Structure 1
Amino acid sequence: MAPKPKKRAIASCEGGGGGCSESKSMIDRLSDLPDQVVHHILSFLTVMDLVRVCCVSKRWRELSLSAPCLNFDEIPSGCRSTCRNRLQLMTYLERFLFYRGDNKIQSFRVNWERHYMDENETVCICASEHYRLITWINSAVRCNVEVLDLKMTLYDPEEAPFPSSVFLCGTLRSLAVDMNFTLLRTPSFGFSSNLTKLELKDVVIEDDRFFKWVSCSCKFIEELHLDQVRGIKTISVESSSLKIFRFFDVFNTSHLSISGEKLEDIVVGWYVESPSNSSLNICAPNLRCLSWSGKLMNHLTLGKFRHLEAAVLRLRPDENELDKVYEVLCSLCKVRALMLDEATIKVPFSKGSMRAPIYNIHCLTMDIGSITDELVPAIVSLFRGLPNMYILCIQSKPPLDNPQFNTSGFDMGYWKLQNLAFIDQLKVVSIELCNDSNGIDLARYILECAQNLLQMIVIYPPQDSEIVTRKLKESKIASGATVVYREKEKRG
């Protein structure tokens, strides 16, 4: 039991004479807190600060050494600038871990970069850090860690594989590994993992049995994040518990298959090297949100996402891939909110002959460059297939070299002749404009023809403020809509 904190006298100055007298005694409130509350406060400190707290008193030393959250990720760069400093720091931290003993570690976070020496320096002695870092990981496992977040830049990741003891830790709930292509071997299928979240970045998977292990042995996994994993060309995951899947890859994977009844959120950023030899298979009947960026692969199996609420498509289709884009859009037939980039709009709709199979959309966001003459027919064709749309957002970023290039061929008369059905449903519009006629005339068409419009937000660059506002204020607004003008913030 922790000793009862002592009261300490507080002197207060009273009276006009400036004399000070001891008026009352107060309890040291920080020392009077329960251990679990103090541990929560200590969880916000770095390990360097925890070591300093050890010097305050015997009780605070015990509390610091038993703190369940250890953050080795905010160490001043000066402490790791030279071989000598790094050696002293590692010894310092290892001594702290030694004195902790087997006290439970709830969360252990490490961010450790290798030592990059100047060209004129002699041989670096820091290569041995690899084994010492592995010792830290094993210490966390021994202390029944629940959250393990490892970001390490190793010297030679082929020297030793990732410690298999981590995957055999029964208390582990969340694991994040970012270790510049260290080797992950397949754990034993006989062990049932309690992982609920797994994040892998810049690692090498020994063989495709690893994801079979995830499918079979991780019965409680809800989140799986894969970013630039290497070593295998085929990734296949089938899980009855998985809810969130994130996948980012450039040229490493050829075949991806993800399946799960509980999958609600999928993000895919995949730029395959050979789309003709690649495949994507998604079986997620209860999917709510989908974001897909990258190339279209030759073999697609998506099914119907009948519960889809929001989707983002940033595809890079070729001109001969119209059918593939149409297949993707058919899978999104029930989506309510959709975001499309310029390439995804231009290929299937540019000839004006294809009607979008996504007529249930209520909110459309277009992320484009400028509303060029080449793009306008595609936009019109897209609009024709969206009779139920009542929220429209147009995000534009004109090219810096010539933002007004080829942007003046479609005036108000053209837009009125299209007889677009959605115009009577439209209620809210946000549109980014610059000094180009096509965009301004589209905004004027909406203001003058959308009888149920409630609000239009117009965003413009500072240099185009006068011409944009002047032309729009000349419009005869068909409804009582509020028009809000905002200056565009600079993008980084």
Structure 2
Amino acid sequence: MEEGMEEGSNCPNNSAEDAPYCPTWLKGRAESLEHDRISALPDSVIHYILSFLPTMDSIKTSVLSKTWVKLWSFVPNLSVHVLDLDHPDKLFRIIHGTLIFYSSTKIKKFLLHFDYHRLVEEIPKSNMDSHIDLWVRFATERNAEELCLEFGSENDLIVIANDSENGDMAKEKGHDRYTMPQFLYDYSSMTKLSSTGCDYMPKGQVSWRHLKVLTTGKAVLTNDNLQRILSGSPMLEGLKLCDCWDITSVDVSLSGSLKKLVIDGVCDPSAFGWIEEYTMVEISGPNLKSLEILGSWQETKCRLLNVSSLMDAHVNFVSYSKGIFEFDEFAETALSMADYRGLLSPLINGDWKCLTLYIRNVKEFVLPGVAFLLQNSPKLEKVVVDTENVIYDIHNHISIHPTGDDFWTLQERSFGCLLQHLKTIEFVDLVWGKYDYDGYLLGAFMQFLLRNARVLEKMAVHYSPWAFLVDDAYDSDEAARILLSFPRASPHAVILVSASPMILSPASTSCRGFAIQMSLELKPQEYCHHIALLLSTV
């Protein structure tokens, strides 16, 4: 027995043929030790696999064997994430050492990510910038296609604010932010550029002939410099500006290639009390197909001048007032801004057939904007209202009904879509409160649609899976009974109520096998324009 055990125990150290007494499973293990299938792959395949790892992790594979020692140095992506260092010298050693041993003559993606503000507290800014210039030069000399410089931190906006003295803009000082080197503006091999905490101040012309996507955030970018960049980027297809400073005009009229514009928040001097009047950002782009207005706009207002080609628009912003949420002021600048300030007027061309509304809370100030969109969508065939799993807290809402008639009964507008085209209405992720004001407004909106949609075929109410957590909310059966009691202008209208994400409960015996389409995106072949509107009160 012991002799057999000894032979078996030595089996993994020998080939499978030399171990006739090895169990089958142990022979397989011996063979796997002899043949490293990953190392047997072509180097190009291994380089591709390692490209998905941060460079510091791919370097660790060099300890596996002699074969792996230099494999990491030919990986097409160089990505250095260093966020936990307490002194710049350590960062310099890591990055310089990595670049010295890097062997590939071609870089696909070059990424640097560290807390710039923390490091410049330890050494002069000029010293830090000179090192970064060398690293960026290294990337350009190896024809990097994608350049990503992430030098941001959580207090970026505070740093920008503190750069100003007596209300002067920070654009001249550039404290605590890296300024893009001038040689980069002549680098024409880039297809994608992304940066955070990097100021753009070109002194001459920009030559980014192959750039297709530009993303910049938390930095100074003036109107003139933005125009220089756009003029020097003839192939630019996507532009994203995140919390940028000193921009009042985003005019992409001369860019025939730019199809998507995203403005994710702005850094507003009025929010810091430096100026009394609000600032205005004007957007113009007759060739734009997609526009997103997101993030925090503080006191800044937005005006759309020419966006006549838009096919997709997403509005999802939060309004602050000097660091404090003021919901009354936000109420004026949210959906109702479509009515009172003309934000959405340039979006309306009357061609779309599907309208998706993401409404976090059904508030009184939301209603004018909803009415505005319905009025200006004469060909509308389908409305989807997504309340995004909102759990209404009735204890924090006004539990009174408005005096007199509600908003919808006072409407003197002409809703062409309700008279001739609207056939499908869907409410998704719904929680319908019994006693809160939001629930009252929601019911009034549903009643208005049923009472006026003359060619309506289906109203589908899709309950949130979290609705059971709310004590004072209608369940699906109660909701069905209430909806069935509302008068319907269309004799063919069917009301459906879903109690779960997958199962629909017909609220009428005339329903036959109707299934809700949960996807809110439109298929290209439908040729429908799509506008998604998200309103946030938090």
Global fold match (TM > 0.5): yes
Aligned to 1:39: 47
Partner of 1:195: 211
Residue range with higher mean Cα deviation, 435-444 or 93-102? 435-444
Instruction: Output one character per residue of 1:47-102: Cα deviation in whole Å (capped at 9) or x when no partner.
Output: 211221223344423321111101112x473xx1x33xx53343133112112156
Partner of 1:133: 132
The one of 463, 469, 474 equivalent to 1:462 is 469
Structure 2: distance between partners of 1:255 and 1:404:
35
**Structure 2 letter corresponding to 1:251:** D
Q: 1:99 to 1:249 in 2, by over 3 A?
A: same
The structural deviation recorded for 1:203 is 2.0
- Give the aligned residue type for 1:268: I
2:418 to 418, 422, 427: 422
Matches within 5 A, 1:27-426: 27-73=35-81, 75=82, 77=84, 80=85, 82-83=86-87, 87-101=89-103, 103-114=105-116, 116=118, 124=122, 128-153=127-152, 157-158=174-175, 161-179=179-197, 182-186=198-202, 188-189=204-205, 191=207, 193-205=209-221, 208-231=223-246, 233-237=248-252, 238-247=254-263, 248-251=265-268, 254-261=280-287, 263-269=288-294, 271=297, 273=299, 280-282=304-306, 284-292=307-315, 316=333, 322=339, 324-325=341-342, 328-329=344-345, 331-336=347-352, 361-365=353-357, 367=359, 369-370=361-362, 388-393=380-385, 395=387, 398=392, 401-403=395-397, 405-407=399-401, 422=418, 425-426=422-423
User: What is the deviation of 1:368?
Assistant: 5.5
Deviation at 1:107, TM superposition (A): 0.5
Distance 1:148 1:377 in 2: 44
Greater helix fraction, Structure 1 or Structure 2: 2
Once the two structures are overlaid, the 10-residue window that deviates more, 126-135 or 140-149, is 126-135
Deviation sequence 1:427-456 (CA, Å, 0-9, x none): 342144112362346557878998722632
Taking the aligned partners of 2:236 and 2:258, their CA distance within structure 1 comes to 6
Structure-2 separation of matches of 1:384 and 1:288: 18
**Residues 318 and 63 of structure 1: CA distance in aligned 2, closer, same or farther (over 3 Å):** closer
- What is the RMSD of the two structures over their aligned residues, measured on CA atoms? 4.7
User: Kindly tell me: are residues 474 and 215 of structure 1, through their superposed partners in 2, closer, same or farther at Cα, counting changes over 3 Å?
Assistant: closer
Aligned-partner residue type, residue 484 of structure 1: S
Paired-residue identity, %? 15
User: Is the partner of 2:216 in helix, strand or coil?
Assistant: strand
Task: Pick closer, same or farther for the CA change 1:19–1:141 going to 2, 3 Å.
Answer: closer
Correspondent of 1:474 among 456, 478, 481: 481
Answer yes or no: is the 8 Å Cα contact 2:75–2:104 preserved in 1. Answer: no
**Distance in structure 2 (CA, Å) of the matches to 1:223 and 1:376:** 33
Q: Secondary structure at the match of 2:463?
A: strand
The farther-off stretch of 126-135 and 316-325 is: 316-325
| Distance of aligned partners of 1:335 and 1:293 in 2 relative to their CA distance in 1, 3 Å threshold | farther
CA distance in 2, matches of 1:108, 1:332: 41
CA distance in 1, matches of 2:138, 2:418: 62
Residues in 2 aligned to 1:320 and 1:152: alpha-carbon distance in whole angstroms: 35
Instruction: Give the TM-score taking structure 2 as reference length.
Output: 0.63
**Higher RCO (Cα < 8 Å, 6 or more apart):** 2
Secondary structure at the counterpart of residue 167 of structure 1: helix
**Which range is displaced more, 14-23 or 220-229?**
14-23
- For structure 2, the 5+ residue unaligned runs are 1-12, 154-158, 160-172, 270-278, 320-330, 485-491, 502-536
Please state which structure has a larger fraction of its residues in strand.
Answer: 1
State the alpha-carbon separation in 2 of the partners of residues 201 and 88 from structure 1. Answer: 26
Q: CA deviation at 1:42?
A: 0.6
How far residue 410 of structure 1 moved from its aligned partner, in angstroms, is: 8.6
Determine the C-alpha separation between the residues in 1 that align with 2:449 and 2:102.
67
Given that 2:50 and 2:72 are in contact with CA atoms closer than 8 Å, whether structure 1 keeps it comes out as: yes
Unaligned runs of 5+ in 1: 1-7, 118-122, 297-313, 337-360
